[in-house]
């Protein structure tokens, strides 16, 4: 199904005359999608897509240092902070996907219906160890979530805070039996179950967007790639990667 969807997007790039290399700076969180979309765009368009991944904050620092790029893919918030500064082509901003927080559990454990607020609360209370990104590593949302659920005091005693790695990997290695992380990160970790997204009333979304660089080479090829990544027919692939249409 997904291969068919990618092939059906060929019309977006049909008629491209010459091959160019497109330099892409991308946030690590969008890597699961680009690993599929970049090769398929190369195959259909004839262009080469050269991707460099980094954190959103590191990408911003690189752009402030006037690094040249053709396409930037990072959070919408990060891009909007660059608009009006001649760092990006402002009116080329295109939303690609959004991703929220989900729950990872061990494959051997029962499947909790964490979309229910009370089930999520009981899942956290009954867990022996809970992994999540350290507030110092961008995980400031999680203590707030635990406080809203009324479980912060209990969770603190069994927290496994993570820096420089994926929280779900702690479940895969049996260092935790529950992890909270971006859904797209969870589905990329073998050996764990994506139990589902947390309830919408508690959710915090990251929106990924693409924008063209002010010194981009072949603008037709660049905008072709952006169109390729934003087509609504990609919804099944996004969901397979733990993301949604924006």
CATH number at residue 214: 3.40.190.10
In the chain, what is the greatest distance between 2 CA atoms, to the nearest angstrom? Answer: 62
CA dihedral over 103, 143, 54, 171, signed as positive or negative? negative
Q: Which residue would you say has higher pLDDT here, 20 or 161?
A: 161
Q: Is 228 inside a domain boundary?
A: yes
| Mean pLDDT, residues 45-50 taken together | 92
Are 74 and 106 found together in one domain? no
Mean pLDDT (whole number) for 10-17: 47
Sheet containing strand 159-162, strands side by side? 159-162, 130-133, 178-182, 101-106, 192-197
The total of structural domains in the chain comes to 2
Are residues 187 and 105 located together in one domain of the fold?
yes
Domain extent, residue 198, equals 101-202
Q: Give Cα 223 distance to the centre of its chain.
A: 21
- 52-66, 113-127, 196-210: least confident range: 52-66
107 shares a domain with 76: no
The tokens describing 216, both together, are: 């981009």
Answer positive or negative: Cα dihedral of 235, 239, 242, 246.
Answer: positive
Q: Per the confidence metrics, is the pTM higher than 0.95?
A: no
pLDDT tens digits, residue range 218-233? 888 999 999 999 998 9
Query: Residue 13: pLDDT above 70?
Result: no
Q: Where are the extended beta strands (E) located within the chain? A: 21-27, 48-54, 71-75, 94-99, 101-106, 130-133, 159-162, 178-182, 192-197, 206-212
Task: For 74-112, write each residue's pLDDT tens digit.
Answer: 999 989 988 888 889 999 999 999 999 999 999 999 999
**Mean per-residue pLDDT over the chain, rounded:** 88
Distance CA 84, CA 134 (A): 33
Quickly state the pLDDT bin for 121 (edges 50, 70, 90). Answer: very high
Is 46 strand, coil or helix? coil
* Residue 245 belongs to a domain: no
Q: Is residue 187 part of a domain?
A: yes
Whether 93 and 210 share a structural domain = yes
Which pLDDT score, from 0 to 100, does residue 217 have? 81
């Amino acid at each position: 199904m997904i291969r068919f969807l990618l092939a059906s997007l060929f019309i977006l790039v049909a008629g491209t005359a010459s091959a160019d290399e497109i330099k892409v700076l991308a946030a690590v969180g969008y890597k699961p999608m680009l690993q599929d979309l970049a090769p398929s765009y190369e195959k259909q368009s004839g262009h080469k897509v050269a991707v460099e991944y980094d954190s959103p904050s590191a990408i911003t620092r690189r752009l402030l240092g006037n690094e040249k790029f053709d396409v930037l893919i990072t959070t919408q918030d990060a891009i909007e902070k660059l608009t009006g500064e001649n760092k990006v082509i402002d009116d080329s901003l295109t939303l690609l996907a959004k991703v929220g927080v989900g729950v990872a559990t061990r494959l051997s454990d029962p499947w909790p219906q964490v979309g229910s607020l009370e089930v999520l609360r009981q899942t956290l209370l009954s867990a022996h160890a809970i992994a999540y990104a350290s507030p110092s590593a961008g995980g400031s949302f999680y203590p707030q979530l635990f406080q809203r659920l009324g479980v912060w005091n209990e969770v603190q005693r069994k927290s496994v805070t993570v820096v420089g790695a994926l929280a779900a990997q702690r479940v895969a290695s049996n260092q935790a039996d529950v992890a909270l992380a971006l859904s797209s990160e969870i589905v990329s970790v073998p050996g764990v179950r994506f139990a589902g997204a947390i309830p919408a009333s508690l959710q915090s979304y990251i929106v990924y967007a693409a924008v063209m660089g002010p010194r981009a080479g072949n603008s037709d090829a660049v905008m072709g790639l952006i169109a390729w990544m934003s087509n609504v027919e990609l919804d099944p692939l996004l969901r397979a990667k733990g993301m949604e249409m924006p």
